[in-house]
Chain A
């Protein structure tokens, strides 16, 4: 929860929502969105390390907060955070589904998972409800067990190959837009680039693997050929050097250390 949110008691939030409903004042809307961005970060962090960059999850969750603020009806007696959590989780689920929340799974499972995404959507429209496992099995020609296996695989903790093809020879990548999600961090990258360049190549690689690719310390240890403890120490030392370097370069402008760390993490694409 952000400090802003902590300063916004439930009563104040409710009053602001009534004000927003009455006036549609953009300033009130901004205030409500900003006050609840902490929830977006918390939920994005909860579902990180599943193959999607943390920054992307934060974006999805933050947009869901905006959507929640726009749609929330304060007269319904539900707390905003409950409503917003439901919306954010829904959007994150959709994001993972669209991007292939997957997996070190056999190719046949990946293919079925991709096909299930499409079939689920069309059946849901046709039936006016979420299809059952039996209906998905009947439509795809797979067994119910295979459907369950594929759905579970879709919630794995490692990403599938983005180029895995479905049965129509379309790649998952072809379903994904081309917007560059890293645009938002260009400024941070600019700020960090000189500091990063001063690090040893191995330290740069470790930071990249940890924050850009989301590998665990153990996975990095295996990849680089050193112990997990060593990875941990190198990460801590590298972050400290980045923090000091950025602080020094920005000492002319008012900013706090927490923001530097946030910039560093943001620029590296992970929390």
Chain B
């Protein structure tokens, strides 16, 4: 679903928790960022960060779904991800993301955070467009 054609784009994606489907989360991030004119370096960072975001929520779970919302404004992209346990039950809040996940996200994006919304473990990140170096 794509809303709006000018400065704000919002895309929703829902995928089963399956390793080989995380590609969809990455590809969607890349497509939204590419469409907004982000540089490939930023897009690479975003792709790795989205993967990390998903992994940090899924931990070792093997069922349920991930719901992702990508919001793109002029110079930033926000990705929000929440985990829904199988059968639509409230997901047990996951254990805290490990230090490494947090460090990786620190390194790749400008802001990120985690919380529990409607009983679902959630996490979000924001990547701003890099300024030109010359």
A residues at B contact (CB < 8 Å): 1, 39, 42-43, 46, 81-82, 85-86, 89, 93, 120, 124, 127-134, 136, 144, 147-148, 151-152, 155
Q: Give Cα A86 to B133, complex, Å.
A: 18
Q: Which of A46, A120, A136, A155 contacts B100 (CB 8 A)?
A: A46
A57 CB to closest chain B CB (Å) equals 14
Interface residues of chain B: helix, strand, loop or mixed (majority): helix
Within 8 A of A (CB), among B86-134: 99-100, 103-104, 106-108, 130-134
Q: Are A81 and B133 in contact (CB under 8 A)?
A: no
Q: Which of B35, B43, B100 contacts A151 (CB 8 A)?
A: B43
Interface presence of B15 (CB below 8 A): no
What chain A residues lie within 8 Å of B43 (beta carbons)? 133, 151
Report the number of A-B residue pairs with Cβ-Cβ less than 8 Å: 77
Q: Give Cα A154 to B21, complex, Å.
A: 16
What chain B residues lie within 8 Å of A46 (beta carbons)? 100, 104
Q: Give Cα A196 to B94, complex, Å.
A: 42
| Number of chain B residues whose Cβ lies closer than 8 Å to a Cβ of chain A | 29
Interface presence of B65 (CB below 8 A): no
Q: Which of A1, A43, A134, A152 contacts B30 (CB 8 A)?
A: A152
Q: Which of A82, A89, A134, A152 contacts B37 (CB 8 A)?
A: A134
A86-B134 contact, Cβ under 8 Å, with A130-B40, A152-B30: no
